[in-house]
C-alpha cells in the first residue's frame, strides 16, 4: 500500500491536529479560563489528553489491522482496555463538580 | 447509475407510520413543558449531561446522516468514518473558551455575541451569514430526507384518474410540512426529549443493521476478508480522488467543520445552553465526541461497507453501479425482514428529522433574537406585559417560514453527485468567515470591529474570487488534489477560504493604529462627512466589481484589496468601540469576569456536597430559596450564591428543576423554603425529595 494512503494522512492529522490541540490547551491556560489550580480542571486535563491518545490509538490500530499487521480483533480489545483505564482514573479523580 | 423505487412492503409502511405517530405524541407530551421563549429555545437551562449527550446523538447523526456516509462507505470503505473521528482537536478551545462565554454572558444567539463583543453592525452581518448557514443546513437535511424516502416510493401515483409523478422536490415538500408541524408546536424541550428517545433508537437500529449484514455475509471474518486492503484503511488517500481525499476533508471537516459545528451551529450551542451548568456541558461534549461518535461512525457507514462486501460476492444482488445515495435503503431492504426494514427506515428518517427540527428551532431563535426583537425595539411596539406571548407566537411563525426557506435551499444542492459532496462544498464555503470571526473574537482581545467586519465583507470578496478562479487562486493550496471542473475543489477550498478570512482579520487588526490615525486626519478635515460619503461610495463600487464579475481578474483582485483597505477605515470612523468594555467577560482571558457578572458577585468555588431536601411552600422573593444553616454548610454555600435544585430522580435528567439564589438560612434541617411560583416553574411535587447543589 502507498504511504500516501496509509501513514501520511495519519501523520498529517495528528501532526497538524496535535499542534492545534496543544495550542488550544496552552492558550486557554494562559488566558486563565483553564485553571490547573482547580481540582476539577485537573480532571479535565486528564480527559483532554486521554481523548487525544484515544483517537491516535484508534486510528493507528485500525491502520495496522487494515495492513494485516495485527488481527482485527485486537482493535476492540485494546480500545476496551483504554476505556477501562479512562473510567478508573476519572472516577479516582472525581470530586464534586464545580459550576 | 442504477436507481430504485417501490422498495419495502405494506408492513414496512405501517411500522413507519406507527413510529412517526408515536414520536410526535412523545414530543407533544414534552411540548407542555414549554411555557415561554426561554423554554421554547433553550429548554430552561436545566438538563443533565447524559440527556444532552443522547439528544446530540440524534442531531449529530442525523446531520451526518446514514445516507451520505453509507454512500461514501460503499464508494471508499471504512474511511467514511474520517469525519466522525477528527473532532477532538478543537475541544480545549470549546470547553474552556467558547462554552463558558456563551453560558456566562447569557447571550441567546451567536449574532448577539457579535454585538456585545464588537458592534451592532457586526451583529447585522453575522445574522445574515448565520441565517444563510442555518437555512443551507436545513436544505441539506431536507435533500437527504428526500433521497432517503424516494427509493421507497413508487415512480408515480394515480388520483381521480390523474397520474402524478413523485419527484424529489415533491417528497421534500411533504416531509417539510410534517417537520414544520412538529417543531412549531413542540419547542426545544420537546426536541430534546424526542431526540433522547431517537438517539437510542437510531444507535440500536444502525448496530442491528450491522449485525444483520455480518450475519448475511456469513460472519465478521468473511466480511473483513471480502474488503480490499484500501477499503479497510481508516483514512482516505492523501490527495486523491478529487471527490474523496484525506487532506481536502481534513480542512473542510476537521478544521472548518469542527469549529463550525462546535462554535457556530446554533442548534448544537442551544443544546449546550440547555445543560444545567458549564461543567455538564463539558461532560456532554466529551462523552459525545470520545465514545458516542466512534459508535455513530459504525452506525451510519456500515450499510455502505456491507453493500460493498455483497457486491464483491454477488454483483447481481448489489450492483456496483447502484446510486451511492440509495445504498443504505437498498442494503437495509436486502438484509432486514419486512417490518424490521420499516423500523430501520423510520429510525433513519426520524434521525434526519431531528436534525432538521433542531436547526429550524435554532434558526427561529436567531430570527426572534436578532431580527424580531431589534425591529420591535426600533418601531417601539414592544409592550412588556405580553411580550413573551407575542414572541412565542412569532417564534412559531418563524419556524414555519424557516421551514419553507429550507425547502427552497434544496435547489442549491440537489445537482451535486452525492449529499456528501453537497455538504462538503456547503461547509467549505459558508463557515470560514464566521468561524474566523468567532474564534479570533474569543481568543484575541485585540481583534476589533473593523477587523471582524472586514473579515465578513473583504474575506467574502476574496472567497468569491476563489470560487470564480479556482485554478488560479485555490490551486496553490490544493496539496496536489486534481481539480474537478464541474465541482472544483469541493473540500480544499475550505483551506483557501479560511486563510483569506484569517489573513484579512489579522492584517486589519495589526494595522489598527494606522486606521485610527487616518480617521483622526479625516475628522480634522472640514469636509469629513463628504470624504466618508465618497469612501462608502467607492467601497460599494469596488465591491460591485467583485460581486457582479465586472472586468477581469486583475481589476477584481485590485477591487478586493481596495475593500480590505477601505472597509476598516470606514468602520473605525463610524463604530464606537471601547476595547476594555467590549471584551469584558467576552474573551477567554476574561472568563472570571464573566463568571462574576453571571453571578452578580464573587463566585464561590469551594467544593461542597449535594444535599437532599423536602420542599416547604412559603411566600417570598421568586429568585431566592432558603436552606438550613447545616445544609448550607454541607454545600459550602454563602448567602447570595447560586443554587440548582432538581427532582432527586436522576432519570428525569433535570426536567423538573430550578435555578435560584441562596437566601437567609433557617433552622429546619432537610427542608428548603420555596415559593409557589418556583414550585410551579420547577414542576416539583410535594412529598418528592429534591436534590440541591451549589453552582458558584
Inform me whether the C-beta atom of residue A21 falls under 8 Å from chain B C-beta atoms.
yes
pLDDT of residue B14: 86
Search chain B and give the residue with CA nearest A29.
B96
Closest by Cα among B93, B63, B81 to B443: B93
Kindly state the percentage of chain A with pLDDT values over 90: 74
- Describe the crossing of helices B188-217 and B340-367 by its angle, rounded to 10 degrees: 150
Q: Which helix (H) or strand (E) holds B692?
A: strand B690-694
Instruction: Quickly list H helices, B150-219.
Output: 168-186, 188-217
- Contact list in A for residue B642 (CB cut-off 8 A) is 99
How far is residue B20 from each of residues B5, B15, B26, B146, measured CA to CA in Å?
Answer: 21, 9, 10, 16
How far is Cα B420 from Cα B403, in angstroms, rounded to an integer?
22
DSSP type of residue B477: G
Contact between residue B89 and residue B258 where contact means Cβ atoms under 8 Å apart: yes
Facing B588 at nearest CB: one of A20, A31, A95 = A31
Inform me whether the C-beta atom of residue A65 falls under 8 Å from chain B C-beta atoms.
yes
Contact between residue B273 and residue B42 where contact means Cβ atoms under 8 Å apart: yes
pLDDT of residue A94: 74
How far is Cα B612 from Cα B32, in angstroms, rounded to an integer?
27
Residue A66 has pLDDT above 70, yes or no: yes
Residue with C-alpha cell 459508535? B295
Q: Which three-class secondary structure state does DSSP give residue B639? A: coil
Q: Which three-class secondary structure state does DSSP give residue B521? A: helix
Cell of B17: 407510520
How far is Cα B268 from Cα B262, in angstroms, rounded to an integer?
7
How far is residue B546 from each of residues B489, B496, B507, B570, measured CA to CA in Å?
Answer: 20, 17, 20, 19
pLDDT of residue B1: 64
Residue with C-alpha cell 461497507? B305
Facing A9 at nearest CB: one of B88, B96, B238 = B238
pLDDT of residue B192: 67
- pLDDT mean over B546-570: 93
The answer, yes or no, to whether the previous bond of B99 is cis (omega within 30 of 0) is no
Contact between residue B554 and residue B523 where contact means Cβ atoms under 8 Å apart: no
The partner residues of B645 in beta bridges, in order of sequence, read B658, B692
Does the model's pTM come out above 0.95?
A: no
Inform me whether the C-beta atom of residue A37 falls under 8 Å from chain B C-beta atoms.
no
Q: Which three-class secondary structure state does DSSP give residue A61? A: helix
Q: What are phi and psi of B323, to 5 degrees?
A: -55, 120
pLDDT of residue B37: 54
The CA-based angle B611-B612-B614, given to 5 degrees, is 135
Q: Is B114 exposed, middle or buried (0-12, 13-18, 19+ CB in 10 A)?
A: buried
Kindly state the percentage of chain B with pLDDT values over 70: 93
B7-21, B188-202, B259-273, B349-363: range with lowest mean pLDDT: B188-202
Facing B229 at nearest CB: one of A27, A44, A66 = A66
Instruction: Work out how many CB contacts closer than 8 A connect A with B.
Output: 155
Instruction: Quickly list H helices, B548-612.
Output: 553-574, 579-583, 591-599
User: Distance from B643 to chain A by nearest Cα, in Å?
Assistant: 10
pLDDT tens per residue across span B575-587: 988 888 888 889 9
How far is Cα B619 from Cα B615, in angstroms, rounded to an integer?
13
- Contact list in B for residue A44 (CB cut-off 8 A) is 95-96, 282
The partner residues of B47 in beta bridges, in order of sequence, read B275
Cell of B15: 411500522
Facing A48 at nearest CB: one of B92, B279, B608 = B92
pLDDT of residue B481: 94
Cell of B279: 461543567
Contact between residue B557 and residue B549 where contact means Cβ atoms under 8 Å apart: no
Residue with C-alpha cell 456532554? B284
- pLDDT mean over B58-74: 77
The DSSP annotation for B31-78 comes to HTT--SHHHHHHTTS-B-HHHHHHHHHHHHHHHS-HHHHHHHHHHHGG
pLDDT of residue B43: 55
pLDDT of residue B530: 95
Q: Which helix (H) or strand (E) holds B549?
A: none
- pLDDT mean over B397-414: 86
Q: Which three-class secondary structure state does DSSP give residue B241? A: coil
Inform me whether the C-beta atom of residue A9 falls under 8 Å from chain B C-beta atoms.
yes
Cell of B518: 487616518
Q: Report the b/e string of A24-42 with b at 16+ CB within 10 A.
A: bbebbbebebbbeeeebbe
The CA-based angle B438-B115-B407, given to 5 degrees, is 70
Q: Is A80 exposed, middle or buried (0-12, 13-18, 19+ CB in 10 A)?
A: exposed
How far is Cα B484 from Cα B493, in angstroms, rounded to an integer?
12
Residue B416 has pLDDT above 90, yes or no: no
- pLDDT mean over B528-533: 94
How far is residue B429 from each of residues A36, B56, B72, B425, B464, measured CA to CA in Å?
Answer: 38, 24, 21, 6, 9
Q: What is the largest CA-CA distance in chain A?
A: 50
The DSSP annotation for B594-624 comes to HHHHHHTS---------EEEEEEE--S-TTE
Q: Is B580 exposed, middle or buried (0-12, 13-18, 19+ CB in 10 A)?
A: exposed
Mean pLDDT of the residues in chain B: 86
Cell of B550: 465586472
User: Does the beta-carbon distance from B93 to A28 stay under 8 Å?
Assistant: yes
User: Distance from A89 to chain B by nearest Cα, in Å?
Assistant: 15
pLDDT of residue A98: 45
How far is Cα B243 from Cα B420, in angstroms, rounded to an integer?
9
DSSP type of residue B628: B
DSSP type of residue B649: -
pLDDT tens per residue across span B305-356: 999 999 988 888 888 888 888 888 889 888 888 888 888 888 877 777 777 7
Phi-psi region of B339 (alpha: psi -120 to 50; beta: other; left: phi over 0): left
**Residue B467: pLDDT band by 50, 70, 90 thresholds?**
very high
Residue with C-alpha cell 436507481? B3
The answer, yes or no, to whether the previous bond of B241 is cis (omega within 30 of 0) is yes
pLDDT of residue A69: 94
Closest by Cα among B242, B274, B296 to B484: B242
User: Does the beta-carbon distance from B85 to A58 stay under 8 Å?
Assistant: yes
In three-state form (DSSP H/G/I as H, E/B as E, the rest C), the secondary structure along B111-149 is HHHHHHHCCHHHHHHHHHHHHHHHHHHHHHHHHHHHHHH
Q: What are phi and psi of B243, to 5 degrees?
A: -90, 0
- pLDDT mean over B140-155: 82
User: Distance from A92 to chain B by nearest Cα, in Å?
Assistant: 16
Facing A5 at nearest CB: one of B78, B233, B279 = B233
**Residue A32: pLDDT band by 50, 70, 90 thresholds?**
confident
- Contact list in A for residue B84 (CB cut-off 8 A) is none
Closest by Cα among B87, B61, B73, B427 to B252: B427
Q: Which three-class secondary structure state does DSSP give residue B322? A: strand
User: Distance from B694 to chain A by nearest Cα, in Å?
Assistant: 8
Amino acid at each position: 500500500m502507498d504511504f500516501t494512503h496509509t501513514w501520511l494522512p495519519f501523520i498529517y492529522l495528528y501532526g497538524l491536529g496535535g499542534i492545534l490541540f496543544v495550542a488550544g490547551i496552552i492558550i486557554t491556560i494562559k488566558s486563565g479560563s483553564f485553571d490547573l489550580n482547580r481540582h476539577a480542571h485537573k480532571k479535565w486535563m486528564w480527559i483532554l489528553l486521554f481523548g487525544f491518545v484515544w483517537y491516535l490509538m484508534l486510528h493507528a490500530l485500525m491502520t495496522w489491522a487494515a495492513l494485516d499487521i495485527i488481527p482485527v480483533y485486537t482493535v476492540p480489545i485494546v480500545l476496551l482496555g483504554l476505556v477501562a483505564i479512562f473510567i478508573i482514573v476519572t472516577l479516582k479523580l472525581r470530586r464534586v463538580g464545580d459550576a | 447509475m442504477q436507481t430504485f423505487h417501490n422498495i419495502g412492503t405494506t408492513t414496512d409502511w405501517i411500522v413507519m407510520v406507527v413510529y412517526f405517530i408515536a414520536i410526535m405524541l412523545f414530543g407533544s407530551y414534552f411540548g407542555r413543558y414549554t411555557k415561554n421563549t426561554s423554554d421554547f429555545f433553550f429548554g430552561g437551562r436545566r438538563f443533565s449531561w447524559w440527556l444532552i449527550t443522547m439528544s446530540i446523538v440524534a442531531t449529530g447523526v442525523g446531520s451526518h446522516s446514514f445516507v451520505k456516509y453509507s454512500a461514501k462507505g460503499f464508494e471508499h470503505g471504512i474511511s467514511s468514518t474520517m469525519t466522525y473521528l477528527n473532532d477532538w482537536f478543537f475541544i480545549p478551545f470549546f470547553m474552556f473558551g467558547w462554552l463558558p462565554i456563551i453560558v456566562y454572558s447569557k447571550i441567546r444567539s451567536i449574532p448577539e455575541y457579535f454585538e456585545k463583543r464588537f458592534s451592532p453592525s457586526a451583529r447585522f452581518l453575522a445574522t445574515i451569514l448565520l441565517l444563510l448557514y442555518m437555512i443551507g443546513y436545513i436544505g441539506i437535511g431536507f435533500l437527504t430526507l428526500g433521497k432517503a424516502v424516494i427509493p421507497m416510493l413508487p415512480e408515480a401515483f394515480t388520483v381521480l384518474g390523474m397520474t402524478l409523478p413523485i419527484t424529489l422536490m415533491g417528497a421534500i415538500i411533504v416531509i417539510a410540512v410534517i417537520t414544520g408541524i412538529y417543531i412549531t408546536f413542540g419547542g426545544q424541550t420537546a426536541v430534546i426529549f424526542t431526540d433522547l428517545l431517537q438517539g437510542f433508537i437510531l444507535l440500536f437500529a444502525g448496530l442491528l443493521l450491522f449485525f444483520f449484514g455480518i450475519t448475511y455475509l456469513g460472519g465478521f471474518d468473511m466480511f473483513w476478508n471480502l474488503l480490499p486492503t484500501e477499503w479497510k484503511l481508516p483514512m482516505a488517500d492523501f490527495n486523491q480522488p478529487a471527490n474523496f481525499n484525506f487532506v481536502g476533508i481534513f480542512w473542510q471537516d476537521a478544521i472548518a467543520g469542527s469549529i463550525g459545528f462546535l462554535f457556530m451551529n446554533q442548534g448544537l450551542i442551544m443544546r449546550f445552553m440547555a445543560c444545567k451548568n458549564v461543567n455538564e456541558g463539558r461532560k456532554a461534549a466529551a462523552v459525545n465526541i470520545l465514545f458516542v461518535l466512534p459508535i455513530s461512525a459504525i452506525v451510519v457507514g456500515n450499510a455502505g461497507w456491507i453493500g460493498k462486501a455483497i457486491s464483491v460476492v454477488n454483483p447481481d444482488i448489489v450492483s456496483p453501479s447502484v446510486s451511492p445515495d440509495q445504498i443504505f435503503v437498498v442494503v437495509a431492504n436486502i438484509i432486514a425482514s419486512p417490518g424490521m426494514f420499516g423500523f430501520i427506515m423510520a429510525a433513519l428518517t426520524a434521525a434526519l428529522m431531528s436534525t432538521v427540527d433542531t436547526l429550524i428551532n435554532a434558526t427561529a431563535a436567531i430570527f426572534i433574537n436578532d431580527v424580531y426583537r431589534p425591529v420591535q425595539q426600533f418601531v417601539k411596539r414592544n409592550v412588556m406585559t405580553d411580550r413573551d406571548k407575542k414572541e412565542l407566537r412569532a417564534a412559531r411563525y418563524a419556524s414555519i417560514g424557516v421551514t419553507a426557506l429550507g425547502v427552497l435551499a434544496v435547489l442549491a444542492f440537489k445537482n451535486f453527485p452525492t449529499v456528501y459532496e453537497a455538504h462538503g462544498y456547503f461547509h467549505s464555503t459558508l463557515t470560514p468567515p464566521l468561524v474566523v470571526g468567532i474564534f479570533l473574537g474569543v481568543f484575541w482581545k485585540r481583534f476589533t470591529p473593523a477587523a471582524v467586519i472586514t473579515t465578513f465583507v473583504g474575506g467574502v470578496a476574496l472567497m468569491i474570487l476563489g470560487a470564480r478562479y479556482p485554478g488560479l487562486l485555490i490551486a496553490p493550496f490544493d496539496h496536489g488534489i486534481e481539480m474537478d471542473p464541474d465541482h472544483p475543489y469541493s473540500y480544499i477550498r475550505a483551506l483557501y477560504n479560511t486563510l483569506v478570512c484569517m489573513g484579512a482579520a489579522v492584517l486589519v487588526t495589526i494595522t489598527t493604529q494606522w486606521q485610527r490615525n487616518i480617521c483622526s486626519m479625516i475628522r480634522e478635515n472640514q469636509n469629513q462627512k463628504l470624504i466618508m460619503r465618497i469612501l462608502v461610495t467607492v467601497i460599494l463600487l469596488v465591491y460591485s466589481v467583485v460581486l457582479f464579475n465586472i472586468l477581469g481578474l486583475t481589476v477584481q483582485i485590485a477591487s478586493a484589496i481596495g475593500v480590505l483597505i477601505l472597509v476598516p477605515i470606514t468602520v473605525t470612523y463610524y463604530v464606537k468601540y471601547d476595547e476594555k468594555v467590549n471584551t469584558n467577560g467576552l474573551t477567554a482571558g476574561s472568563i472570571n469576569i464573566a463568571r462574576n457578572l453571571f453571578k452578580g458577585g464573587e463566585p464561590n468555588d469551594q467544593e461542597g456536597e449535594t444535599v437532599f431536601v423536602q420542599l416547604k411552600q412559603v411566600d417570598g422573593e421568586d429568585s431566592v430559596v432558603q436552606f438550613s444553616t447545616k445544609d448550607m454548610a454541607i454545600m459550602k454555600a454563602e448567602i447570595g450564591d447560586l443554587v440548582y435544585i432538581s427532582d432527586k430522580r436522576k432519570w428525569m435528567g433535570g426536567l423538573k428543576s430550578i435555578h435560584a439564589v441562596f437566601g437567609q438560612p433557617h433552622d429546619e434541617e432537610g427542608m428548603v423554603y420555596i415559593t409557589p411560583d418556583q414550585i410551579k416553574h420547577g414542576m416539583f411535587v410535594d412529598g418528592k425529595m429534591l436534590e440541591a447543589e451549589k453552582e458558584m
